[in-house]
């Protein structure tokens, strides 16, 4: 199924890619178990093979395998977005074209990293991927990783021309979030281009200004808290959403003590949600002081981690 704008809301975990202890193989059983764990807590979608899923370290066959595993496990209950990230527009378009028959509902497309394209280059990159895949695109703005910020004017242009129907906003700037939402509203495009947070610490602030949810890394660990927070915000109960936001932020801080998803995978393994905390080089497993910090945080918030663990 293709993802419509109205379906992009609530809590969508950017699911980790579990590996065997030596990091050489995808751990399909853990991935299936984690997917079902999220579904049992009412998530509204998934992103597979995003940066949290270590897509940059996957082979082409592994990339499609991970998407297939998540899509097959979900069975159409919620949409699954596939991450696409390349400095080369040609390669990004080729990757997106392979998603046509994958069962993915849409594409989460990162602006090209490393080569620092101008705004016109970003626009043409997104246009080429749209043409190649035929799938709905959610733009992923994360200048901390790409070195280039997608300006609100470029988002407006792509939304107006139907190239994108949503934005994952990870600039870390509430000024930019407010400007973007204000300009979308003024252009009459807010109902056609959903804005979700890519910053786990800023979900409620973004939603209070007109955003509709989050694509989350930390939600891998505590999906029930993110679901309650986004559901409350969507219902207009910002007091409850804000309370939950403040409550979970110590966990959020701990999960970004090292490069994502190193701490998240360590925490998931500690809780038995995946079998191994293995990451692939150039990432390395969490340092001892990070593990100690994670254990302390999990001891403080044990009720956040309750939930069924259904096997595959």
Q: Are 220 and 16 in contact (CB under 8 A)?
A: yes
Longest dimension (CA), the chain: 52
Average pLDDT over the chain reads 93
DSSP 48-71: ESSTTTTGGGS-HHHHHHHHHHHH
Enter the tokens of residue 291. Answer: 């593990």
Q: Residue 177 domain-assigned?
A: yes
pLDDT band at 308 (very low <50, low <70, confident <90, very high): very low
By annotation, the residues acting in catalysis are: 140, 168
- Output the domain CATH number for residue 46: 3.20.20.70
Q: Residue 149 domain-assigned?
A: yes
Three-state secondary structure call for residue 235: coil
pLDDT at 310 over 80: no
pLDDT at 303 over 80: no
On whether the pTM is more than 0.85, the answer is yes
What is the domain range of residue 222? 5-305
Mean pLDDT of 282-300: 93
Q: What is the pLDDT, as a whole number, of residue 301?
A: 65
Q: Residue 310 domain-assigned?
A: no
pLDDT at 189 over 80: yes
Q: Residue 38 domain-assigned?
A: yes
Enter the tokens of residue 27. Answer: 């751990």
What percentage of the chain has pLDDT greater than the value 70? Answer: 94
What percentage of the chain has pLDDT greater than the value 90? Answer: 91
Q: Residue 103 domain-assigned?
A: yes
Q: What is the pLDDT, as a whole number, of residue 299?
A: 83
Q: Residue 312 domain-assigned?
A: no
pLDDT at 295 over 70: yes
pLDDT at 167 over 60: yes
CA gap 302, 15 in Å, rounded: 21
Unique residue bearing structure tokens 């593990």: 291
pLDDT at 183 over 50: yes
Q: What is the pLDDT, as a whole number, of residue 293?
A: 95
pLDDT band at 3 (very low <50, low <70, confident <90, very high): low
Q: Residue 311 domain-assigned?
A: no
What domain count does the chain have? 1
Choose among 156, 133, 138: nearest CA to 12: 138
Mean pLDDT of 90-100: 95
pLDDT at 155 over 50: yes
Q: What is the pLDDT, as a whole number, of residue 307?
A: 40
Neighbours of 202 (CB within 10 A): 22
Q: What is the pLDDT, as a whole number, of residue 7?
A: 77
CA contacts within 13 A on the Cβ side of 7: 17
Q: Residue 251 domain-assigned?
A: yes
């Amino acid at each position: 199924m293709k993802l419509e704008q109205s379906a992009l809301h609530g809590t969508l975990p950017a699911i980790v890619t579990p590996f065997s202890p030596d990091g050489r193989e995808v751990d399909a059983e853990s991935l299936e178990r984690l997917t079902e764990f999220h579904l049992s807590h009412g998530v509204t979608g998934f992103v597979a093979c995003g940066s949290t899923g270590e897509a940059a370290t996957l082979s082409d066959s592994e990339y499609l395998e991970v998407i297939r595993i998540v899509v097959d496990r979900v069975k159409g209950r919620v949409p699954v977005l596939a991450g696409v990230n390349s400095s080369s527009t040609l390669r990004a378009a080729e990757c997106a074209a392979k998603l046509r028959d994958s069962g993915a509902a849409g594409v989460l497309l990162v602006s090209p990293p490393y080569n620092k394209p101008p705004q016109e280059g970003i626009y043409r990159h997104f246009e080429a991927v749209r043409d190649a895949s035929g799938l709905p695109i959610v733009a992923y703005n994360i200048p901390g990783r790409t070195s280039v910020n997608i300006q609100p004017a470029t988002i407006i242009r792509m939304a107006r021309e139907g190239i994108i129907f949503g934005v994952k906003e990870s600039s870390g700037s509430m000024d930019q979030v407010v400007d973007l939402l204000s300009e979308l509203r003024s252009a009459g495009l807010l109902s056609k281009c959903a804005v979700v947070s890519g910053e786990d610490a800023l979900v409620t602030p973004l939603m209070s200004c007109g955003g509709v949810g989050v694509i989350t890394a930390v939600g891998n660990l505590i999906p029930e808290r993110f679901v309650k927070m986004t559901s409350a915000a969507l219902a207009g109960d910002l007091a409850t959403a804000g309370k939950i936001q403040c409550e979970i932020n110590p966990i959020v801080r701990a999960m970004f003590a090292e490069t994502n998803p190193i701490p998240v995978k360590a925490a998931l393994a500690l809780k038995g949600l995946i079998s191994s905390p293995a990451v692939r080089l150039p990432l390395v497993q969490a340092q001892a002081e990070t593990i100690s910090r994670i254990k302390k945080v999990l001891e403080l918030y044990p009720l956040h981690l309750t939930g069924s663990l259904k096997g595959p």
